[in-house]
Structure 1
Amino acid sequence: MLGIRRRPPGNARRRVPTALATSLAAVAALLLGGAASPPAAAGTVRSAPVPVRLDPAYQHAPFEGWGTALAWFANVTGGWPDAQRNRLADALYGTGGLGLTIARYNIGGGDGTATAPYMRAGAAVPGHWNPAGPQAPEEWDPDNPDHWDQDADGNQRWWLKAARARGADTFEAFSNSPPYFMTASGLVSGAVDPLDDNLRPDQYERFAAYLAGALRRVQNSTDVTFASVSPVNEPGTAYWRAGGLQEGSHWAPESQARMITALRAALDRSGLRTPVAAMDETDPNMFRANWESYGNAVRSAIGRLNTHTYGTDGRSGARDIAKGAHTPLWMSEVDLGGTVPQSFTDMSPALDLAERITDDLTQLEPRAWVLWQAVEDYENMTPAHEDSNWGLIQTDFTPADAANEPLRTNKKYWVMAQYSRFVRPGSRVIGTDDAHTLAAVRPGGQGAVVVHANASDSARTIALDLTGFRDVSAAPVQRYTTDATRDVHREADVSTTGRRLTVTLAPRSVTTLVIPGASGVDPEQATPAAGPRLLVNDHSGLALSAAPAGAGSALVQHPANPSDTAQRWTLTRSAPDDWSSTASYRVTNARSTQDLAVADGELTLLPPGPSARQHWMLSTSGDGHHTLVNSATGTLLDVTGASTSDGAPVGTYRPNTGRNQSWTFRAAPTGG
């Protein structure tokens, strides 16, 4: 996040071969800190293995890839000597590096030529307007070709072409600020009052035309096609102020809405079908608050939902908003500086990053995961400045000799590789019941990948339960480890025993297991299990019940009673072979034999039918708790008013992350 990450310290698609050792060694030879070392001592092993169950019956949408914003580092290094900038591009986008496939291009606003430089190194991303075009900035005309700098921002454009040449296939453009002459403060860093919008009220259509025009010109010059364009960035924060060290702008919710619709109209006028992404808010809770303020016309103008995760609360709300809106969701920006001083060997920042990746993918269910700046300014990270660990590679943005400036990898780089080299585009993240484990089925469904982070000071043995797969062959399981002394080091292969795999992992390490023999789904092991269930609310502890005829509400909650047929529900997949996390279910009551449905805005029971209003999507992060998202309305099964009272009505409500929208499925034997 551009704003939070700049507080002073104290305030604080291209498939990669699985044989990685040779390619990693090639990258290590180019980057400092990348040499593989002998295996570390295992440490003390726990007395009992930690059980980890993989659930291929809960598969996220196909993963689009890993990426980084370009912005500052590309604005600097895109102009470096060819050999050096290609080393960096290989490290990020090459098959021997991280194999990233997404790049986010920053459409700069640009301060006036008379404004003395005041931003941090690289942050003054050039604007696309031509300073020699109109006689006065207010005369800038987006329809006049002479008012555009056709060659603006050559350094970032170099990076777009370099990424594409190495296999990147997904590109997004984003804006942090309008050009200075459209702002209230006259600066692209924000308004004088950070809670004020900086775009002047009469400039929305002009700014939208600027973004559409820049987008078209960059596409034409680079042969890159943008999959989306995001007009606002972290709009609800108070970090953007005139004279700050980077571009930024506050946007009130109604201003966001106006800008989103203005950009959609401008793109349409330009003949561009590029989807609008929104709203790149700082965290999922703020994202949810903004979304709730948008009307239907604004929501329909959005083709992709973006959130950052600098704050982590509310991921389930953003996830269920995206499902209910049937709109793809990205985690479009985050990085972490860590809690230790600048270090290229300490595993703490890397383990923090692993935790963030795993939690984001399992709880938020994004289709892509994108870093802020994969390359950071080394000088700014030193003890004399931030003394921190932002970025995966650090290099001086103002070097005396760019051709020979060191490219320093920290442990975050190698931990990122533990994920990005193995969970490739087209993979589907699957459910697990362990907070430290990320799992995915590989593209095409043949094979699985497991990444486990052991942040403890002791070795940990995990016992993977693979019974959810239809087939598990005895093919060798590959193992790669990063810890204090190893960098994605190929360890001895391990073997499955039946449908189980037990492996011991080093302390303070991240390990990737490639299980080529796991495929398919065993329907008998799928969750939720077949048979009648009680739906028990996680807030009240009471069970969903069909109310007697004549009661004030069709659905209420009562103390759990397995013998009461009004509380028994059967969940049936609408498509038996749909194992996606957006699969729809009919939820049928045993007493009435009717389906749970939303009609005329009310929760009710209806005779079985194909309507989306009586179909529900189940969301879970693997912890045994679920939300139920109505396929027609996007609202969630919800105990009204978060009541804990016996007999309280149950309805539906927009996603709010409350426990009154969270449910546990408890077996209800037909014999009572």
Structure 2
Amino acid sequence: MKFLKNQMYQVVSILAINGAFEGWGTSLCWWANRVGYSEQLATQAAQLFYNKNTGLGLNIMRYNIGGGDDPTHNHITRTDSKVPGYAVNVTGTSDTDNLSWDYDWSADYNQRNILTKCIKESGKEAIVEAFSNSPPYFMTNSGCSCGAVNASKNNLHNNCYDDFAKYLADVAYHFKNSFGITFQSISPMNEPYTSYWMANSNKQEGCHFDQGESQSNMITALRGALDKNGLNSLMVTGTDETSIDTQIVSYQALSTKAKNMLGRIDVHTYSGSNREGIKALAQKENKNLWMSEVDGGLTAGENAGEMGAGLWLAQRIITDVNNMTPSAWVLWNIIDNHISKDGYQGNQDSGDVDRSKGYWGIAVADHDNQTIHLTMKYYAFGQFTRYIRPGYTIIPTGSNTLAAYDVKGKQLIIVAVNASAFDVNYNFDLSLFHAVGASVKVIRTSGTMSSGEKWAQLKPLTANASGFQATLKTNSVTTYIVSGAEYNNAAFSEITLVE
């Protein structure tokens, strides 16, 4: 196999407004809400996930501004997903246009504790996006932050768009001026055009917003509230639909005013397939594009065992980044399972994962022993995040590889996945580059936690002006770092992996 040179295009115009990859991240919702009570667990998590020398080197944090459910409700049974809201001492009703409330800024300590530690580990590369799953319960039609009585109907009361926008803007203002945390962006809706969110469910907060007028009103109201609070540079993003195809329709249905106020398109890739379409839409609208949430309990590979979940994640990253070319790729709940004999807030935790099968998240928090257990999925993720860094330029490649170019360091990074039951020989054609170094670093993850390779440094390969050859081990993820790679033009040839 080899890389072939095809048509020319401007990578800068596809990647982002500033032409650079912004990084990798995870939502803090919900794992930080469960883990942040413990200084030991919180410190471990920040180092494992956000330290670029010893951990994954993530730099993007999506902080969930909880709406807060009716305090008399007790139907959310997950131990991590009941995120506290900040509003207290509520007076008035949504029906009478006379709502008022105070704020309890001590709320949501756990998530903020994790956020603060992750920002510290990320340093100058840190990017924080705030997002909301639901308005506070007293602004909803159902009186419940888990959704409407009819899950396909709007749950934000018609009188409360400005109230909800004020709530979000006030939180953003307080974070900046009291906590010293500046949000780069804020997304007021999460998977809004779905029927997932139903009152009194046991899952999480959620809120349906119809496409068109309802979503447009939310965006414009939030932009106005942020500006009123002096947060003119805080970007409004969205609409974070669960489906790529739905996201395209939702954006197109926005009013012209709302489109102009939307600073970036955020999309989840749980479903839908039109990745080229969302990329083209972002280009046409001159908007940056983030893949802002995905994960899944799936596997890939052939008899891959513990590597199965990691191979699935690696393939999803390659598919999303090559075909959508987003400027950021963000995992959902990085810790989705918790071990605790006592449970939390009256509910039982989910327990450990079966590493031979698919599972959500990439690590497990053991609250009984105050430690975080890693998985091969964690190490597979790190094959991308540790070596393709913020500021690099993504070079779309084939279905099994992802490549990026470090202009300042003159490095070419190639991450290759072999999900087959046998080793595969590749010939990487680097003739597009004016110069390449003679040595290629090789880092690989394969096998099991007890006896496998975990970011294993292998013997360097030899490269020349035409490229290098490599053997991809069965059921593995391998990163190749080609130093001394020089390319002087901003336009790259598309590189396609073919037989």
Distance 1:331 1:381, change over 3 A: farther
2:62·2:128 contact (CA, 8 Å) conserved in 1? Answer: yes
Partner of residue 171, structure 1:
128
- In 2 relative to 1, CA 382–178 (structure 1 residues): closer, same or farther, beyond 3 Å? same
> Which of the numbers 266, 270, 295 marks the counterpart of 2:225?
266
Structure-1 residue corresponding to 2:242: 282
Question: Alignment partner of 1:203: what SS?
Answer: helix
Aligned partners of 2:287, 2:470: CA distance in 1, in Å?
38
| 1:425 and 1:443 in contact (8 A); partners too | no
Higher mean displacement: 423-432 or 53-62: 53-62
> Deviation string for 1:399-433 (max 9, x for gaps)?
4x3xx23422111100110000000000001132x
Q: Which residue of 2 aligns with 1:215?
A: 172
**Counterpart secondary structure, 2:276:** helix
Question: In the alignment, is the contact (CA less than 8 A) between 1:381 and 1:388 conserved in 2?
Answer: no
Check 1:243–1:346 CA distance in 2 against 1; reply closer, same or farther (3 A cut): same
**Of 187, 202, 205, which aligns to 2:159?**
202
| CA deviation vs aligned residue, 1:426-454 (integer Å, no higher than 9, x gap) | 0001132x210100101426110000000
Aligned 8 A contact 1:424 1:443 in 2 = no
Following superposition, the deviation at residue 216 of structure 1 comes to: 1.2
Instruction: Report if aligned partners of 1:134, 1:140 keep a CA contact under 8 Å in 2.
Output: no
Q: What secondary structure sits across from 2:474 in the alignment?
A: coil
- The answer to whether 1:74 aligns with 2:74 is no
Matched, 1:247 2:205: yes
Report the TM-score when normalising by structure 2.
0.88
Asked if residue 408 in structure 1 is aligned to residue 366 in structure 2, the reply is no
Q: Supply the distance in 1 between the matched residues of 2:249 and 2:9 (Cα, whole angstroms).
A: 32
Q: State which of 474, 477, 501 in structure 1 corresponds to 2:440.
A: 477
Residue deviations 1:557-577, cap 9 Å, x none? xxxxxxxxxxxxxxxxxxxx4
Aligned to 1:52: 3
Which of 56, 71, 95 is equivalent to 1:98? 56
- Normalising by structure 1, report the TM-score: 0.66
Q: Structure 1 residue aligned with 2:416, among 452, 455, 461?
A: 452
Q: How does 1:163-562 map to 2 (within 5 A)?
A: 163-167=118-122, 168-244=125-201, 245-253=203-211, 254-273=213-232, 274-339=234-299, 346-378=306-338, 379-380=349-350, 388-396=358-366, 399=367, 401=368, 404-432=369-397, 434-444=398-408, 446-474=410-438, 476-484=439-447, 485-521=452-488
| Pairwise CA distance, 1:347 | 1.1
C-alpha distance in 2, partners of 1:177/1:135?
19
Is this contact kept in 2: 1:345–1:410, CA < 8 A?
no
Give the CA deviation at 1:88.
1.3
How many aligned residue pairs are there? 466
CA shift, 1:344, in A, is 12
TM-aligned CA deviation for residue 57 of structure 1: 6.5
- State the distance in 2 between where 1:449 and 1:152 align: 42
Change (3 A) 1:429 1:339: closer
Measure, in 2, the Cα distance between the counterparts of 1:107 and 1:68: 15
Write the distance in 2 (CA, Å) between the matches of 1:229 and 1:124: 20
Q: Does 1:161 align with 2:116?
A: yes
Q: What does the per-residue CA deviation read over 1:73-104, in whole Å, with 9 as the maximum and x for residues that have no partner?
A: 11111111x22320111000112100110000
Shift of 1:313: 0.2
Q: Secondary structure at the residue paired with 2:461? A: coil
Give distance in 1, aligned partners of 2:187 and 2:90: 27
Indicate if the aligned counterparts of 2:41 and 2:372 stay in contact, CA closer than 8 A. no
Range with greater deviation from structure 2 (373-382 or 162-171): 373-382
1:176 is paired with a residue whose SS is coil
Q: Would the alpha carbon gap of residues 72 and 202 (structure 1) be closer, same or farther in structure 2, given more than 3 Å must change?
A: same
CA distance in 1, matches of 2:34, 2:98: 29
- The answer to whether the Cα contact below 8 Å between 1:109 and 1:175 also exists between their aligned partners in 2 is yes
Q: CA deviation at 1:346?
A: 1.2
| Contact 1:93 1:101 (C-alpha < 8 Å) held by counterparts | yes
What letter matches 2:115 in structure 1? L
Secondary structure of 1:492 counterpart: strand
Distance in 1 separating the partners of 2:444 and 2:252: 43
2:491 is matched with 579
Q: Secondary structure at the match of 1:68?
A: strand
Q: Which amino acid in the other structure matches residue 113 of structure 1?
A: P
Alpha-carbon offset, residue 358 of structure 1: 0.6
| Residue 325 to residue 86, structure 1, CA distance change in 2 (3 Å) | same
- Residues in 1 aligned to 2:286 and 2:132: alpha-carbon distance in whole angstroms: 25
Which amino acid in the other structure matches residue 108 of structure 1?
G
Per the TM alignment, residue 54 of structure 1 is displaced from its structure 2 partner at its CA by 7.1
- Residue 110 in structure 1 maps to residue 32 in structure 2: no
Structure 1 residue runs without a partner (length 5+): 1-49, 522-576, 582-619, 625-672
Matched position secondary structure for 1:467? coil
Match of 2:181, SS state, is coil
Output the amino acid matched with 1:359. T
Runs ≥4 in structure 1, deviation > 4 angstroms?
54-58, 135-144, 381-384, 620-624
Q: By how many angstroms is 1:578 displaced?
A: 4.0
Distance change (3 Å), C-alpha of 1:123 and 1:443: farther
CA distance change for structure 1 residues 468 and 248 in 2, over 3 Å: closer, same or farther? same
Partner-residue secondary structure (3-state), 2:119: helix
Q: Using the aligned pairs only, state the percent identity.
A: 36
SS at match of 1:88: helix
Match of 1:83 in 2: 40
Residue pair 1:194, 1:238 contacting (<8 A) in 2 also:
yes
Q: RCO higher in 1 or 2 (8 Å CA, sep ≥ 6)?
A: 2
Query: How far did residue 135 of structure 1 move?
Result: 4.9
Contact 1:161 / 1:222 at 8 angstroms: preserved in 2?
Answer: no
Change (3 A) 1:329 1:461: same
1:140 to 1:88, Cα distance in 2 relative to 1, 3 A: farther
Letter in 1 for 2:37: G
